[in-house]
Structure 1
Amino acid sequence: MSELREGQSGPGDSTIVTTESYLSYEEFGRRFLEYAASPERIAGAFEKLTGEAFEFGPIGVGPGRIAKLSAGVRLGQPRLNREVQDNISYDLVIPLDIDLLIDLAVDRYPFHVDGTIHLHLTVRTAEPLRVLIDIAEPQPSNVRINVASASRRGELLRILASVDHEIRRFVARYIATEIRKPNIQAATDIDVAARLDAAWRL
């Protein structure tokens, strides 16, 4: 005795029972992009920056460039904030921890800097069948810092020597170089057609 399964019809029964829930092409595409560019995937692409440390200087700053600025910078754990708009986009926030020193030859002034750099990421689609995470080129204005000086004289020197501007400029340039590296480029360029072809061959 045969058993009637869901999705089949019996004798004299023209009704096909199905449990499939279909999506429009547009809805499928949107869900696919949400999945392919999920916060977890994007955050993972930038996780390797966590704990990275670099130094810059000494460089001449201030009037006549007589002061020398040097600094050690450490990057913290990135945070990802979803921005609500038509495009899928994110604000990637990377914490900064900076120890810097202004050397006047006759005196040295240490500073500690806390801050963040904000990167704007937009999910885009491209030919032939690619998902791209477009990262806006970081600018000094994307770097936000809070400088603490141990003395009023040091605070005045920081302003005169344009220390804040130099930090923002250098950090923005460093991050711009990092996001061009192959490991981040590979994580932000998803060739869907190539991956489907590879899966089909398997």
Structure 2
Amino acid sequence: MTTRQEVLAAARVRLDGRDPAGVGLREIARALDMSSTSIYRYFDSMHDLRTALGMQQPKPEVPAGFTDQFVERAMSPDRIHSVIADLLGTSLVIGPLAVGPGKRGRAVARGVVGDIATTRAARGLAAKIPVGLVIDIEVGRFQKRICAKVVVPIGISARVKDDLTLVIDVARPHPRAISVDVDALGLSAVVVRKVGKVDDLVRANTLAHIDAVLASPEGKAATTIDIGQMIDDAWAAGVVFERRAM
């Protein structure tokens, strides 16, 4: 497995005698035969990598208001919806979880991620992630299946780093902000729901699943957009940028 020091060593070779702005994480990953997402285990951006190498780069002058306009354009609800939907996929499995008195019971939840609603908010975007769960609970010889509808609200904002990197930040909601609608019909289901603390388990573990997805290398890669690398790739592919008349 590639180490952080090997990444730094490869970066030194690639940066030697070259304009730092022309070197991206993908190029360094290719030099190490790494996937473009694996390198994010070590560095979030080229800025972080250059900082680790002790390199500094002069900041260009940016027109007033450019950053805000850039972020607003990049952070469209449709784009963010696509990013979140691709990361979460359409299904999830949670468990097995220890439930009931003495944690002697067992619960497994299988779910389907619904259509994510993404809208503009006062600060960035707001998204609601609906998840339909089927929860199978076993406590001794007792078995019960419970269905639940969960909605996880998240806040989304973006910031631009000095090295033309757009970082999408996801605000983790408080577990109590997650709505849980449990279909527990019958006395036995009501008892299982209360004794097993099903609502709290659903909230905590659905949120933990989303956290794990966002913290994965794929999640970091999807929420860290190297604009400089995209420009370099476009030029390398022969794309011609034409100045449009205003």
> Where does residue 51 of structure 1 map in the other structure?
90
Q: Relative contact order (C-alpha < 8 Å, sep 6+): which is higher? A: 2
> In 2, are the aligned partners of 1:129 and 1:191 still within 8 Å (CA)?
yes
Q: Note if contact 1:62-1:160 (Cα within 8 Å) is conserved in structure 2.
A: yes
Q: Contact (CA 8 Å) 1:139, 1:169: kept in 2 or not?
A: no
Correspondence 1:132 to 2:167: yes
1:48-78 alpha-carbon deviations (Å, 9 max, x no partner): 2241232421x32122223322221221121
In the alignment, the residues of structure 2 paired with residue 52 and residue 101 of structure 1 have an alpha-carbon distance, to the nearest angstrom, of: 16
TM-score by length of structure 2 reads 0.63
List runs of 5+ in structure 2 lacking aligned partners: 1-61, 239-246
Residue among 130, 133, 142 paired with 1:107? 142
Superposed CA offset, 1:117-149 (max 9, x none): 122211112122222111124553353211111
Q: Determine which of 31, 41, 64 is the counterpart of 2:79.
A: 41
Q: Deviations along 1:154-178, whole A, 9 cap, x unmatched?
A: 2133112211111111111111111
The aligned residue for residue 188 of structure 2 is 153
Matched, 1:190 2:229: no
Paired residues for 1:54-133 under 5 Å: 54-57=93-96, 59-85=97-123, 89-133=124-168
Distance 2:218 2:138 in 1: 37
Letter matched to residue 214 of structure 2: I
Structure 1 regions of 5+ residues with no counterpart? 1-23
Return the index of the structure with the highest Cα Rg: 1
Q: Provide the TM-score with structure 1 as the length reference.
A: 0.75
Q: Is the 8 A contact 1:138 1:175 kept in 2?
A: no
1:73 is paired with a residue of what secondary structure?
strand
**Structural RMSD (CA):** 2.3
Residue identity in the other structure for 1:133: I
AA in 1 matched with 2:80: I
Relative distance call for 1:157 and 1:34 in structure 2 (3 A) is same
The answer to whether the 8 A contact 1:138-1:173 is kept is: no
**Contact conserved, 2:157 with 2:169, CA < 8 A, in 1?**
yes
Question: For residues 34 and 154 of structure 1, do their structure 2 counterparts lie closer, same or farther at Cα, with a shift above 3 Å needed?
Answer: same
Structure-2 residue corresponding to 1:176: 211
Note if contact 2:93-2:108 (Cα within 8 Å) is conserved in structure 1. Answer: no
| One-letter amino acid of the counterpart of residue 187, structure 1 | A
